Amino acid sequence: MSNNEKRLAGEAAIRYVEDGAIVGVGTGSTVAYFIDALADLRDRIQGAVSSSEQSTAQLKKHGIPVLDLNATGPLSLYVDGADECDPYKRLIKGGGAALTREKIIAEASEKFVCVIDSSKKVDLLGKFPLPIEVIPMARSLVGREIAKRGGQPVWRDGVVTDNGNWVIDVHGWQIADPAALENDLNQIPGIVAVGLFARRPANIVLIGDRLMD
């Protein structure tokens, strides 16, 4: 993992911000560099839609208005990090437990610019344990369903998401068909969101300040 590459990626994403935009903002240490750089454009944008309390605090500290997605309508741009990225720009996200709001904003955005360092690039998703946000009462049920599918569920004990839910990290999956797995898991009652971004992959990936093909 390279903090320098994270900084370069976060700062490079600024080039996609257009005057007057409302920018969707993800969560994590790479996006934190983007938010710091966005502060310089504060007077040229309308504001941001934030994916977490953590990013909201940082945006507000910089005087960037934080807007409600219900009031903004579709967004032109979403900038966020990832835990893994495959050659098709499909992602694993949720290491920071913000996956549900991240997924909502990604879905609402026309362009998703993903900012990563080179350690996140993989051929096959799944070495990073797959985060799944669950309604607390469904934790054991979801765990059993994951085990039936060959995964090892590990409860992220002590972590409560911004939505008041819990996170299960699934170890041991080499994900050959991310869209099929995402679709399958989304049918299990109690799962709020799966940290797989296959049906809505990134459009652009910046590894440091370099564009991924």
Ligand X SMILES: O=C(CO)[C@H](O)[C@H](O)COP(=O)(O)O
Positions touching ligand X (CB under 6 A) are: 26-30, 80-83, 93-99, 102
- Sheet of 166-171, strand order: 152-155, 166-171, 130-134, 191-194
Answer yes or no: 102 catalytic. yes
Number of H helices, E strands in the chain: 7, 13
The residue among 27 and 58 lying less far from ligand X, judged by its C-beta, is 27
Answer yes or no: is 93 a known binding residue. yes
The first and second tokens of residue 108, run together, are 């609402």
Catalytic residue among 5, 11, 102, 133: 102
Query: Minimum distance between the CB of residue 117 and ligand X, rounded to whole angstroms?
Result: 7
In terms of CB distance, is 27 or 45 closer to ligand X? 27
Q: For residue 151, say whether it is annotated as part of any ligand binding site.
A: no
In order of 146, 148, 170, 181, 185, the CA distances from 177 in angstroms are 16, 17, 16, 6, 12
Distance in Å, CB of 156 to ligand X, minimum: 11
Query: Closest distance between ligand X and the C-beta of residue 171, in Å?
Result: 16
User: Are 119 and 1 contacting, i.e. CB atoms less than 8 angstroms apart?
Assistant: yes
40 annotated to a ligand binding site:
no
Our CB check for ligand X shows the closer of 22 and 193 to be 193
- Tokens at residue 184, please? 């399958």
Which residues are part of the catalytic machinery? 102
